[in-house]
Chains A and B, each alone.
Chain A
Amino acid sequence: MFPTQDEISAWLPDLLGGLSISLQVTAFSLLIGIPLGLLLALGVLARSRWLQVISLFLVEIGRGAPALVLLQFIYFGLPTTGLTLGSFSAAIIALAWNTGAYTSEIIRASLQSVAHGQREAAEALGLNRFDELRYVLLPQGLRVALPALLGFSILIFQGTSLCFTIALPELVSRAYEIGSTTFRYFPALLAAGVLYAAISIPAALLVSHVEKRAGLYAQR
Chain B
Amino acid sequence: MNAADLLPLLRGLTWTVALTAGAFFIGAVLGVPLLAARRSRLWLLRFMAMSVIQIVRAIPPILWLFIIFFGLGMGVMPISPFNAALMGLGLIAAANLAEIYRGAVASIHFGQWEAAAALDLGRWSTFRDIVAPQAFRVALPSAASYLIGLMKETAVASTIGVAELAYQGNQLSQLTFRGLEVFALVGLFYVLLSLPISWLSRVADGYLRAKVAR
| A172 and B60 contact, CB distance less than 8 A | yes
Instruction: Verify B179–A1 contact, CB threshold 8 A.
Output: no
Contact A193 B59 (CB under 8 A): yes
A161 to B153, CA, bound (A): 12
Write the chain B residue with the least CB distance to A1.
B75
B52 at the A interface (CB under 8 A): no
> Does A69 contact B166, Cβ atoms closer than 8 Å?
yes
The answer to whether B179 touches A77 (Cβ under 8 A) is: yes
Q: Is A93 an interface residue (CB 8 A)?
A: no
Chain A residue at smallest Cβ distance from B66: A189
Residues in B with CB closer than 8 Å to A172 are 60, 62-63, 66
Question: A53 an interface residue at 8 Å Cβ cutoff?
Answer: no
Residue of A65, A80, A176 near B178 (CB, 8 A) is A80
**B190 with A164: CB separation less than 8 A:** no
B70-98: which residues lie under 8 A (CB-CB) from chain A? 70-72, 74-75
List residues of chain A with CB within 8 A of the CB of B186: 65, 69
Cα separation A176 to B63 with both chains bound (whole Å): 9
Q: Kindly state the interface size class of chain B when it binds its partner.
A: 35 or more
Report Cα–Cα, A168/B96, bound state, in Å: 28
Whether B62 contacts A61 by the Cβ 8 Å rule is no
Q: Interface 1/0s, chain B 161-179, versus A by CB < 8 A?
A: 0000010011001000111
Interface: B191 (CB within 8 A): yes
Chain B contact residues: helix, strand, loop or mixed: helix
* Residue of B71, B155, B173 touching A189 (CB-CB under 8 A): B71
Q: Are A76 and B59 in contact (CB under 8 A)?
A: no
Contacts of A79 in B (CB 8 A): 179
For A179, give the chain B residue with the smallest CB separation: B70
Structural contact, A197 and B152, CB atoms closer than 8 A: no
Q: Count of A-B contacts with CB under 8 A? A: 126
Chain A's nearest CB lies how many Å from the CB of B175? 12
Pairwise interchain contact B60-A159, C-beta atoms closer than 8 A: yes
Taking a contact as CB atoms under 8 Å apart, the answer to whether A66 and B152 are in contact is yes
Which chain B residues lie closer than 8 Å to A81 at the CB level? 180
Is B183 a contact of A197 with CB atoms below 8 Å? no
- Inter-chain contacts of B74 with A (CB < 8 A): 183, 185-186
For chain A residues 68-92, which have a beta carbon within 8 Å of chain B? Answer: 68-70, 72-73, 76-81
A66 engages B166 (CB within 8 Å): yes
Q: Which of A60, A61, A69, A161 has the most CB of B within 10 A?
A: A69
Interface assignment of B112: CB less than 8 Å from any CB of chain A: no
Q: How far is the CA of A192 from the CA of B60 in the complex (A)?
A: 10
Interface residues of A in 83-124 (CB under 8 A from B): none
Q: CA separation between A207 and B153, bound complex, in Å?
A: 23
Taking a contact as CB atoms closer than 8 A, the residue among B158, B179, B194 that contacts A80 in the complex is B179
- Taken together as a complex, chains A and B put the C-alpha atoms of A197 and B72 apart, in Å, by 20
Closest 8 CB pairs of A and B: A65-B187, A186-B71, A77-B179, A200-B58, A73-B183, A64-B191, A161-B60, A66-B152
Given A61-B191, A179-B71, 10 more A-B residue pairs with CB atoms under 8 Å apart are: A64-B191, A65-B186, A65-B187, A69-B187, A73-B183, A73-B184, A80-B178, A159-B60, A197-B58, A204-B57
